Structure 1
Amino acid sequence: MSPEFLTIGKIARPQGIRGEVIVNVETNFPSRFFDETVFLVRTKDGVSHKMTSEKARMHKGRVILKFQTIDTMNDAEHLRDAEIIIPVENRNMDDEDFFYHYELIGMNVVAVDGHTVGRVTEVLENPGQDILVVQGKEGEVLVPFRKEICIEVNRKAGRITADMPEGLEDINR
């Protein structure tokens, strides 16, 4: 089931005394922080606020945002740990080789020889590549989400075709 909103960033803390905030980017498309000016910000209490950014800049791999009406460090402190979210229908679908985790969860993994490996129950984020947690008949299998292994992902069919290296199903159980 698709979520209603996707998190594209999380506000870590205030930056400086003029109301700027440091955002940990949680999207493969950080350009949206520069291309868009209106954001939905969900604070720790679960309330969402529509906020307009005045400026954005990158600094050490993170985004520094300045929102209108947030003019002091104290104002910005109220945004600590808030999520910057977008409606799921606004997600970037330009890259057909990019998949959101919620899209992969629930897909069936079928080996190229035709046997069913199982169903994706979770996606683990790792520095090298994501790992699919696949629940099969004989237990859990960890499958690296790499193009060399997951050779086709069919969103419509809900299926991942995998070229499973010999022993992968056994070693990861």
Structure 2
Amino acid sequence: MAPKQSGITQLRVGRLVKAHGLKGAIKLELYTDEPERRFVPGASFSLQVPIDSPWRGKSIVLRELRWFNDAPVVFFEGVEDRTTAETLIRAILWVDKDDTEELDPDTWYDHELIGLTVMVAGEAVGTVVRVDHFPAQDLIVVKTDTGDVFVPFVKEIVPEVNISNSTITVTPPGGLFDINTD
């Protein structure tokens, strides 16, 4: 997460992964559940790029989002050919998020979950170190004393996320957090 200034937080919403075709299109890896809201014509994105990139410190404006074979492809203003598109590969896209933005009560950003203590039957078993996003469901990765545990992030297994107490309550199926006592 980028620094917070005047009630505004920067949120990572995507990463540019590969030039697509000859007219400046770029395949996009989404980091948002709301591409139809975040990727609209005229949307502006701050870029996170390497220090030596010509795009360092710049923003970019979306011209169009298209879907090819269920994969998002973006076109940006000023990116008219493949050569220019290739200079943006691996750039991470950020947007401003106003703290007053309303979310569904069961919606959290990855940065809100990372670092929370995972509780099973009232006992701390580990800490969330990352969230992996997959088509079927998300997984929270929990670092425990015996290694990482991948927990499906579904209501039946993760019934409560309490940001104010910095905890996530998990009701795992048998064997998920069992520790070998040998």
Please state which band the TM-score falls in when normalised by the shorter chain: 0.7 to 0.9
95-104 vs 77-86, which deviates more? Answer: 95-104
Gaps of 5+ in 1: none
Q: Structure 2 vs 1, CA of residues 119 and 18 (structure 1 numbering), >3 Å: closer, same or farther?
A: closer
Q: Structure 2: where are the runs of 5+ without partners?
A: 4-9
Measure, in 1, the Cα distance between the counterparts of 2:66 and 2:100: 21
Counterpart of 1:96 in structure 2 is 105
For 2:70 and 2:99, the matched residues in 1 are separated by 23
Inter-CA distance 172–107: structure 2 relative to 1 (3 Å threshold): farther
Q: Which has the higher helix share?
A: 1
The corresponding residue for 1:15 is: 20
Aligned partner of 1:120 among 113, 118, 128: 128
User: Partners in 2 of 1:129 and 1:27 — Cα distance?
Assistant: 13
After superposing the two structures, state which structure 1 stretch, 124-133 or 38-47, moved more: 124-133
Corresponding position: 1:34 with 2:29:
no
In structure 2, what is the equivalent of residue 6 of structure 1? Answer: 11
Q: What RMSD over aligned residues (CA atoms) do the two structures have, in Å? A: 3.1
- 2:142 pairs with 1:134: yes
Q: Which residue in the other structure is 2:30 paired with?
A: 25
Normalised by the length of structure 2, the TM-score is 0.74
**What is the alpha-carbon distance in structure 1 between the residues aligned to residue 135 and residue 65 of structure 2?**
26
Would the aligned equivalents of 1:25 and 1:62 in 2 still touch at CA under 8 Å?
no
Counting matched residue pairs gives: 170
Give the partner amino acid of 1:106: G
1:5-59: per-residue Cα shift (whole Å, max 9, x none)? 4331221233333323222222211111126521222334362311122222222
- Cα deviation, 1:73-101, whole Å, max 9, x if unaligned, reads 22222112222122465797523323333
Relative to structure 1, is the Cα distance of residues 135 and 70 closer, same or farther in structure 2, using a 3 angstrom cutoff?
Answer: closer
